[in-house]
Amino acid sequence: MSRSPSSASGPLSGRRVLLVVGGGIAAYKALDLIRRLRDRGAAVRPLLTESAQEFITPLAAAALAGERTHTDLFDRESEAEIGHIRLARDADAIVVAPATANMMARMATGHAPDLAATVLLATTLPILIAPAMNVRMWLHPATQRNLATLKADGVTVVGPNEGAMAEAEFGPGRLAEPHEIADALEAMLAQRAQAGGFGFLAGRETPKRLAGRHVLVTSGPTHEAIDPVRYLANRSSGRQGHAVAAAAAEAGARVTLVSGPVALPDPAGVTVVRVESAREMLAAVEAALPADLAIFAAAVGDWRPAETRGAKIKKDGHTPAPLTLVENPDILATISARTEGRPPLVVGFAAETDQVLDNARKKIARKGCDLIVANDVSAEGGVMGGLDNTVHLVARDGGVETWPKLGKEEVGRRLVARFSEWLAARPG
C-alpha cells in the first residue's frame, strides 16, 4: 500500500487492512473505523460495494484512508494498476464492515458477482466481519446458516450488538462500535500469529473431536417469579454458555442447550430448550440426560421467593412488600452427585468477585464436579454481559490453567477443545 498509516507506533503498526464496506445504513461508521484503524497504526485500503456507495462516497473513504477507494471489478485502469487478485493478497487482513446479509450470503455460498465478493473468494487472508442489519434479517434462519458456515470456514465475527434499531425495533443487529471492531482485529491478528499460521485456511478446519458425543450445556440467567410481572434475575447475558454450545456443535457433538431467558439467537445445529426458573432448568437438564459431557454455564439464581403471588402485588404507600427467599436446587451439585447416569465429565462455572481461585477450589470440592471454569465478574472486568472473558480452569487436584483475555467465542472453542482432551483421556 502506498500511503503510510497515521500512527507509526500503535498496536496495528505495520499492518495493512483491506476494508470492505457493504451497503447498509451503518456504512457511515466505516468512515470512523478507517480513522481509528489508522490511529492504531494500520494502513487502510477501502473497497466499497455498489450499494455502499448509496450511503457513503468513495471520495470520503479515500480522503480518510489516504488511499484510493476500489469499487469496480471491471475497471480496466484499476485492474491494470492493482487487480482483484492482488487486492486479495496485498494486506494482512480483510475487514468487512458493515457486512450486509447479502454479503454474508455471497461469502457463505462462494458467489462472486462483484469486486468485494470476488476478492473475498480469492483470498487466503484472515477475514473479520462485522455484520449489521435489521433484527429479523439477522435472526432469519438463512442468515444464521450463513453465519455458521462462515465461522466453520474460519471467518472471525464481531457483533452485532443489541440495541435500538431503525424502524423502532430492538434486538441484535447493530454494527459493533468501531473501537470494538479494531479490538477484534487486533485479537484476531494476535491469535493467528500465536497459532503460527497467518492464512485464512489455517483456521478453516474444525476438528470433529466430539463426533458421536452428546453434550449438555446450560446458559443464561434464571428468572424467579415474585408475581405475574416481577421477578428476581441476574446480569448474565448467556453469551459464554451459548458460545460453548456453538463450539461443541462445531466440534461434531449432538448438543442440547438448556437456556434461561436471553436475547441471543439460537446457535446453529443445537437443540435449545427454553426455561425460566432454576427448578425448570433442573427438570430440563434431567430430562436431557444421558450426556457424555455436561457444562453448567448458566448463572442459576441461588434463591427464589418463598411464594409466587398469583396477582400483582400492590404498593400500599406504607411498607415495602416483604420478600421471603428460599434456596433453589443446586443443579451442578445434584447432577454431580448422581450415582446413575452421571455424565462422565461434569463442568461447572464459577462467577466470583473476589478470591476467584480459592473460591473455585472450594466450589469443586463442595459440588463434586470434575472441573470448574472460574471467572472474575467484578464490575471492573465487564465480563457479565460483555464480549470478552478471562478464565481459569481449575481441576479437582487443584491444578489451574489461566488463559489470557479472549473473546467469549474463542473461549468457547478452547474450552471445547480442552474438554474433548479430558474426555478422551478418561477411562470408560
Of 22-30, 208-216, 240-248, 409-417, the segment contacting ligand FMN by CB under 6 A is 22-30
Does residue 125 bind ligand FMN (CB under 6 A)?
A: no
Does residue 25 bind ligand FMN (CB under 6 A)?
A: yes
Beta-carbon contacts of 118 under 8 Å, excluding residues fewer than 6 positions away, are 73, 84, 88, 112
Q: Give the pairing of strands 406-407 and 388-389.
A: antiparallel
Nearest CB to ligand FMN, comparing residues 123 and 420: 123
Report the distance separating Cα 360 and Cα 338, nearest Å: 21
Task: Confirm whether 161 is a catalytic residue.
Answer: no
C-alpha of 11 from chain center: 23
CB 348 within 8 A of CB 332: yes
The most distant pair of C-alpha atoms in the chain lies apart, rounded to whole Å, by 81
Question: Do the annotations mark residue 302 as ligand-binding?
Answer: yes
Of positions 33, 101, 158, 210, contacts ligand FMN by CB under 6 A: 101
Closest separation between CB of residue 151 and ligand FMN, Å?
18
Question: Do the annotations mark residue 181 as ligand-binding?
Answer: no
Question: Do the annotations mark residue 266 as ligand-binding?
Answer: no
Report the distance separating Cα 410 and Cα 118, nearest Å: 28
Cell numbers at 84, concatenated: 482483484
Cell numbers at 21, concatenated: 464496506
Does residue 52 bind ligand FMN (CB under 6 A)?
A: yes
Question: Do the annotations mark residue 345 as ligand-binding?
Answer: no
Does residue 24 bind ligand FMN (CB under 6 A)?
A: yes
Report the distance separating Cα 324 and Cα 305, nearest Å: 6
Nearest CB to ligand FMN, comparing residues 8 and 168: 168
Q: Classify the C-alpha dihedral 374-415-154-101 as positive or negative.
A: negative
CB 271 within 8 A of CB 214: no
CB 410 within 8 A of CB 359: no
Nearest CB to ligand FMN, comparing residues 51 and 161: 51
Q: Coil, helix or strand for 12?
A: coil
**Catalytic option among 102, 234, 328, 389:** 234
Alpha helices (H) in 66-177, listed in sequence order: 76-81, 84-89, 101-109, 115-122, 135-139, 141-152
Does residue 23 bind ligand FMN (CB under 6 A)?
A: yes
Question: Do the annotations mark residue 349 as ligand-binding?
Answer: yes
Question: Do the annotations mark residue 408 as ligand-binding?
Answer: no
Closest separation between CB of residue 33 and ligand FMN, Å?
15
Binding mask 129-168 for ligand FMN (x = CB under 6 A): ---xx---x-------------------------------
Q: Coil, helix or strand for 117?
A: helix
Nearest CB to ligand FMN, comparing residues 125 and 133: 133
Q: Which residues pair with 19 in a beta bridge?
A: 46, 95
Of positions 7, 51, 78, 149, contacts ligand FMN by CB under 6 A: 51
Cell numbers at 195, concatenated: 497459532
Does residue 241 bind ligand FMN (CB under 6 A)?
A: no
Does residue 118 bind ligand FMN (CB under 6 A)?
A: no
Nearest CB to ligand FMN, comparing residues 99 and 369: 99
Of positions 17, 18, 19, 22, contacts ligand FMN by CB under 6 A: 22
Nearest CB to ligand FMN, comparing residues 24 and 407: 24
Beta-carbon contacts of 30 under 8 Å, excluding residues fewer than 6 positions away, are 19, 21, 46, 52, 56, 61, 97, 98
Question: Do the annotations mark residue 330 as ligand-binding?
Answer: yes
* Residues that constitute the known binding site for CTP: 302, 312, 329-332, 349, 363, 367
Q: Which residues bind ligand FMN (CB under 6 A)?
A: 22-26, 49, 51-52, 100-103, 132-133, 137
For the annotated catalytic residues, the residue numbers are 234
* Residues that constitute the known binding site: 302, 312, 329-332, 349, 363, 367
